Amino acid sequence: MSRNKVNALSNGVFLILLALIIYTNTVWPGILFAIGAALVIRQYFTGRKIDLIITLVILAILFTISFTGLSISTLAPLALVLGGVYIILREYFFAESSDKDEK
């Protein structure tokens, strides 16, 4: 699937889920689900299987924290920082040449 189609698909899913969040008035953890679903779709269709697994693990941790009432003020930022560090390290150290993608 082309990058434009993948972006359109994930953005469309995000907007539909955002509309459901507004309709049901469940901002948290609804926004987490909407962002996660868009990321998972984008990673699945672009073939980033390891990123997909890591995203699902981080989302599962955040959902567990949210639904069990654990201290989200310490655990959620930690999970998000770990995800951000992984993305930065992956793109900086392990990414293939992206000159072809930019053109």
pLDDT digits (tens, 9 = 90+) for 49-100: 888 988 888 888 878 877 777 776 777 788 788 888 888 888 888 766 555 5
Structurally, the chain folds into a number of domains equal to 1
Angle at 68 (CA atoms; ends 29, 27), nearest 5 degrees: 15
Total-model pTM: 0.66
- pLDDT digit string, tens, across residues 6-42: 889 999 999 999 999 999 988 877 888 899 899 999 9
Question: Cα-flanking dihedrals φ and ψ of residue 66, to 5°?
Answer: -65, -45
Range of the structural domain that residue 67 is part of:
3-102
Helices (H) and strands (E) in the chain, counts: 5, 0
